[in-house]
Amino acid sequence: MDKLEADDSWSPTSADSTAAGSYSLIVYRTKYGLVDYRATINGVPVAYTELRSTYMHEVDSIIGFQELDDPSFVDSPQTFQDAVSNIGYTFNWFYVDSSHTAYFNSGLNPVRQSYVAADLPEWGTSTYAWEGFDPDTYSATYETSAEHPQSIDQDYYVSWNNKQADDYASANFGDGSVHRANLLDARVKALVEQAADGGTKVTRVSLVQAMESAAVTDLRAEDVLPDLLKVINSSTVTDSTQASLVSQLTAWLNAGGTRVETSAGSETYTDSSIIQTFDAWWPLLVEGEFESGMGTDLYDALASALQINESPSGGQMGGSSATDVNGTIPHKGSSFQYGWWSYVDKDLRAVLGQTVSGGLAQEYCGGGSLSACRSMLLSTLVEASQESASTVYPGDSSCSAGNQWCADAIIQRPLGGITDPTTSWQNRPTYQQVVEFTSHR
């Protein structure tokens, strides 16, 4: 965050003009990065800037890429890690041959002062700058290669936009106990443990099945619904309407918490009714859990900073302006990367009296009262069950309102004259490859 003061060094840079030259796009550059926003603090104008560590050093990474492309250089896990350590961009890199596997997280990781929070803005002065920062060369002191997350011959690796490694500060507010990678990790871990115990070895088929199972499972159902049900079932549910809904949720969870068609091409989900209720319930329960304890203004501000939900349809976001967060794109398939699932999970476990690592500052659900939390969950569950399909799935240019399957479905963006049919939802629907190495080289 830079103050706009007379002695500040501003360098307006003219970007590409239109062909007619009717206007120019101006980017203001400071020694602490490009200006993103302007504001005032106590009446004083300030500019919010953002500086990435690779700024003005984009081409430096060519060294690492050149080494990766050189078979005479990369011939082992160690030389692989040496190569990717020279790449300044933040990526997860993996290595495999017939005998070894390896991982390395690349990137120019600047060393921050101990009192600087990675997820909050700081003043644009040398007091808060990266250690060793030189604004003339846009260079700083960086973590050594040995300090980067890395491993060789780990039991297995999964990668699904994983959260930060242990002891690494995160600027992503949603990273916590529940993460999308859990879906894949749990399944691969079970396969590996089964093989280690003398059971069936992991095969290409079983590995693909694990991946496909993760791709059609609702993260909220698998990792958060069990806690929701523990709170609800802390006392006997006597109301018949509530009991029926709880029974349906339990049955869906026991069946895997998946969002799959009754049969190929049916365009109707198994458990469609309770899935609709659950989709409607999530924003209601999150608001009911946190808004009273936070206050409306803070709750809305946090929901704007991090959407409370990223369901397959994208229609159940919650929060006053959360639908604008992360550029909500319908029909993209990719889901459950951004949301409040960790907050809900940690808070519910605390209310249940469990020990919570890295818990929240206070217990929010029911003000920390298990019975009040339970009452809120049951009342919002009934409220959710009464929402119409057209409200939960409002429809768009591709789908009529109320069409659950279509709301979740993947609709490809045409490339020229090439089109693809609408397909049933699966998470992160890029492409899958199965590769097996039978020799070292």
Q: Could you give the CA distance from residue 341 to residue 227 in angstroms, rounded to a whole number? A: 11
| Tally of CA atoms within 13 A in the half-sphere of 372 that contains its CB | 13
pLDDT at 261: 97
Q: Could you give the CA distance from residue 62 to residue 88 in angstroms, rounded to a whole number? A: 9
Q: Could you give the CA distance from residue 399 to residue 201 in angstroms, rounded to a whole number? A: 43
Q: Could you give the CA distance from residue 357 to residue 346 in angstroms, rounded to a whole number? A: 8
Nearest Cα residue to 391 out of 377, 379, 407? 407
Residue 329 forms part of a structural domain:
yes
Residue 190 forms part of a structural domain:
no
Residue 116 forms part of a structural domain:
no
- Kindly tell me the burial class for residue 397, based on how many C-beta atoms sit within 10 Å of its own C-beta (0-12, 13-18, 19 or more): exposed
Q: How many domains does one find in the chain?
A: 2
What is the residue range of 37's domain?
2-50
Q: Could you give the CA distance from residue 253 to residue 363 in angstroms, rounded to a whole number? A: 26
Angle at 161 between CA 397 and CA 329, to 5 degrees: 10
Instruction: Give the strand pairing for 11-14 and 150-152.
Output: unpaired
CA dist 318 to 251, 279, 328, 334, 425, Å?
26, 11, 12, 18, 21
Angle at 116 between CA 111 and CA 122, to 5 degrees: 115
Q: Where are the beta strands (DSSP E) in 2-51?
A: 2-3, 11-14, 26-30, 33-41, 44-50
Residue 303 forms part of a structural domain:
yes
DSSP class of residue 419 equals: -
pLDDT at 429: 65
| Tally of CA atoms within 13 A in the half-sphere of 81 that contains its CB | 19
Token pair 């203001």 is found at 28
| Tally of CA atoms within 13 A in the half-sphere of 364 that contains its CB | 22
pLDDT at 18: 56
Amino acid letter, 129: A
Nearest Cα residue to 228 out of 346, 339, 348? 348
Domain boundary among 35, 50, 65: 50
Q: What are residue 40's phi and psi, to 5 degrees?
A: -130, 145
Q: Could you give the CA distance from residue 330 to residue 332 in angstroms, rounded to a whole number? A: 6
Residue 369 forms part of a structural domain:
yes
pLDDT at 15: 46
Please tell me the total number of residues recorded for the chain in this structure.
441
Those residues whose C-beta lies under 8 Å from the C-beta of residue 141, and which sit 6 or more positions away, are 110, 111, 130, 131, 132, 133
Q: Tens of pLDDT along 314-328?
A: 766 654 333 333 445
Q: Could you give the CA distance from residue 262 to residue 327 in angstroms, rounded to a whole number? A: 31
Residue 311 forms part of a structural domain:
yes
Residue 142 forms part of a structural domain:
no
Those residues whose C-beta lies under 8 Å from the C-beta of residue 417, and which sit 6 or more positions away, are none
Q: Could you give the CA distance from residue 233 to residue 223 in angstroms, rounded to a whole number? A: 17
Give me the sheet containing 92-96, strands edge to edge. Answer: 92-96, 101-105, 150-152
- Kindly tell me the burial class for residue 84, based on how many C-beta atoms sit within 10 Å of its own C-beta (0-12, 13-18, 19 or more): buried
Count CB atoms within 10 A of the CB of residue 280.
24
Q: Could you give the CA distance from residue 354 to residue 358 in angstroms, rounded to a whole number? A: 12
> Which residue stretches of the chain have pLDDT < 70?
1-21, 169-171, 315-328, 429-430, 441
Residue 441 forms part of a structural domain:
no
DSSP per-residue codes, 44-96? EEEEEEE--TTTT-GGGGHHHHHHHT-TTT--SHHHHHHHHTT--S--EEEEE
pLDDT at 2: 46
- Bridge partners, residue 134, by sequence: 139
Instruction: Give the strand pairing for 2-3 and 11-14.
Output: unpaired
Intra-chain end-to-end CA distance of the chain, in Å: 50
Q: Tens of pLDDT along 107-165?
A: 999 999 989 987 788 999 999 999 999 999 999 999 999 999 999 999 999 988 887 77
Residue 37 backbone class (left: φ over 0; alpha: ψ -120 to 50; beta: rest) = beta
Nearest Cα residue to 281 out of 335, 337, 239, 242? 242
